[in-house]
Structure 1
């Protein structure tokens, strides 16, 4: 499995892309926590597009190894999410409302239609919801818990449906003005840490 493909393998391969214990000061009501995240997502939803750089670290439990990659990303509410891995192997991942496409050297090496793959649809919806600030979709798919309020903020998303629960334990979101980190915890022990930086809104 190539290091550059780890985000694609998490989202598409269904080997997907240690639960955190909240400190006492974070033991607030679910209602208060979700309203805080709802407000933050509402601000992000006003932005037409986001772009920046990322560093990603994927821990594979079965191999007890970590794969690192880096690159840039761009999200547009109409065109979707483009995830351009620059190192170690140039790879482009495009996520739209209809499909997930992986390209190398300008050639399509994988294409998945959301109509044919319910899991692909679910993952596509989740990434659109996170980057597009879609509160309704996130609350439909996840139970949301506040880990840290204020700035910086941290929220934990636990999947509700059996389909996501079978692969994904939780997603942790971290940020200030905008989302700047995601931690994806899978049921097989794999973890993906994604750090976003130099994020600019348009």
Structure 2
């Protein structure tokens, strides 16, 4: 009987890596692509290191042929189309646009061009740490921390200047979205 705990530890160590292995990136990509929301709501908190201030906003997003339409509804009403080809975006947004669309759609292949990705957890409760492996991205971002289950639910972006952006994403039907105008 006194050898049972030792035997159990050996058995768990032998089967442990297979039982607790991180999801395969191809399987996770397929999983996310299958369940990618066309529309959703977001809450974001941005820490501005230089000002030592936190800005909180919320709104909704919709994927369409233009890219990801990011509609902030509070505290201000603002619309941005996240698309790498959108020359009106500041350079930082141009770099983040393909990353964000890749995350939402499960396009890990696009993300692997810019990041080293470390996955953990399991398919229905996964986490990913993305560290830039491309100089243009590393100049702006130090890492992304992403987690979710069927879809991406949490995104944390850590910027090289000490700023941080935390997003919580919730799928929603496109018809339930509004522009935040109390009159609508």
Q: Please give the range of the TM-score, normalised by the shorter of the 2 chains.
A: 0.7 to 0.9
In the other structure, the counterpart of 2:49 is 61
Question: 2:146 & 2:118 partners in 1: Cα distance?
Answer: 10
The equivalences for 1:176-187 within 5 A come to 176-187=149-160
The reply on whether 1:130 has 2:108 as its aligned counterpart is: no
8 Å CA contact 1:37, 1:155 repeated in 2: no
Give the TM-score, by structure 1 length.
0.68
Q: Which has the larger radius of gyration?
A: 2
RMSD between aligned residues: 2.6
Pick one of 141, 153, 158 that aligns with 2:114: 141
Q: Which string of whole-angstrom CA distances, capped at 9 and with x for unpartnered residues, describes residues 5-24 of structure 1?
A: xxxxxxxxxxxxxxxxxxxx
8 Å CA contact 1:80, 1:128 repeated in 2: yes
In the other structure, the counterpart of 2:75 is 88
Pick one of 56, 79, 89 that aligns with 2:66: 79
Give the TM-score, by structure 2 length.
0.74
Q: Secondary structure at the match of 2:96?
A: helix
8 Å CA contact 1:52, 1:74 repeated in 2: yes
Pick one of 50, 57, 64 that aligns with 2:38: 50
Task: Answer 1 or 2: which has greater strand percent.
Answer: 1
Q: Which string of whole-angstrom CA distances, capped at 9 and with x for unpartnered residues, describes residues 25-48 of structure 1?
A: xxx7xxx64x62331222332457
Question: 1:153 & 1:125 partners in 2: Cα distance?
Answer: 21
How much has 1:132 moved relative to structure 2?
2.1
How much has 1:93 moved relative to structure 2?
0.9
8 Å CA contact 1:75, 1:131 repeated in 2: no
Question: 1:49 & 1:145 partners in 2: Cα distance?
Answer: 23
- Structure 1: gaps spanning 5 or more residues: 1-27, 101-110
How much has 1:200 moved relative to structure 2?
5.3
Count residues with an aligned counterpart.
Answer: 156
